[in-house]
Each structure stands twice: as C-alpha cells, then as structure tokens.
Amino acid sequence: MSALLKPQAMAFRPMRSEDLDALIRIERASYPYPWTLGNFRDCLDSGYSTWVGEVEGELAGYWVMMQAVDEGHILNCCIAPAWQGRGFGYSLMRHLIATARGNATVTLYLEVRPSNTRAVNLYQRLDFDSIALRRNYYPADQGREDALVMRLIL
C-alpha cells in the first residue's frame, strides 16, 4: 500500500509551553470566542491534564481537563479546521477518556453549545448523557447561548 493510502493516525503527547503559538492559532480559527494565550498558560501552570495530538508531525488538536478527586471537567477539546470531519475528534476524545480512566476518574463532565451539533453528536456517540442546561452560559452574537451539560460515567 502506498503511503498516501495509509490511514492517518493521531499521535498524542503532553502539551508544552512551546506549543502555545500554534495552539492559539488553531483556537482562534476554531471558536467564535477563543481562549486567550493566558488561559492556556494558566492550565499548564495549574497542572491540568493538557495534551496535544499530532498528525503527520503537525499539531492537529488538543484537549484540556481539570481533575478534582475522581471527577474530570473537560475544559477544551479541539481539532484544527484543516483536520476536522475525519474522525480525529473521535480519536482525541477516546484518548482523553483512556487518560481519565488511567487517572482513576469516575465521572467526566463537559459543557457544549447546543448549536455545536458536530460536537454534541461526537459526545453522544461516546455515550455522554445530557444532564442539564445552564441558561445564558456562553456569549453569542445576539445575547447569550445556553450550555448543555453532558456527563460520562466511566
């Protein structure tokens, strides 16, 4: 099989401060209300679980989780626009879930915009349940948008 036909795999490694410039470029291209450089620095400095995924040596995605005892709160999960829609979000989340299980996490939580249907579908396929709605949680073009709270019991 030629190299071109081989399925691309995502390789994971811990996030480093040298990644921040690339991360912020992806973040700004991916979210209407992106994190700042300071948000990423704070997560690194706080010792949160912070990982990046590379495809063909290129930084293609990342996730950030805050752990409190046996609960994990997913703070960010992102695939760069050029790599979206090819199953890498699924790989990234499976890596996050495996890492959380390895850290003795029992329950994972996340918030997502209900309008972010690709993300909601992805979490549902990974067996996250919708457990609550936080009213007016996110900034939006017109006013605010609710957040769907989702939970996965590991």
Name the minimum Å distance from CB 86 to ligand COA. Answer: 5
CA distance 75 to 66: 7
Does residue 118 bind ligand COA (CB under 6 A)? yes
What tokens appear for 60 in the block? 């293609």
Name the minimum Å distance from CB 89 to ligand COA. Answer: 2
Site for ligand COA in 79-108 (CB under 6 A): 79, 84-90
What tokens appear for 9 in the block? 């795999």
Query: Near ligand COA by CB under 6 A, which window of 32-40, 46-54, 98-106, 121-129?
Result: 121-129
Annotation marks residue 111 as catalytic = yes
- Residues of 98-130 as b/e, b for ≥16 C-beta within 10 angstroms? ebbeeeebeebbbbbbeeeeebbebbeebebee
Does residue 116 bind ligand COA (CB under 6 A)? yes
- Name which position in 77, 96, 97, 100 contacts ligand COA (CB under 6 A): 77
CA distance 152 to 71: 10
Annotation marks residue 71 as catalytic = no
Site for ligand COA in 32-71 (CB under 6 A): none
Alpha carbon of residue 119 to chain centroid: 9
Q: Which is nearer to ligand COA, 105 or 148 (CB)?
A: 148
What tokens appear for 107 in the block? 């329950």
Query: How big is the site for ligand COA, counted in residues (CB under 6 A)?
Result: 19
Catalytic residue numbers?
111, 123
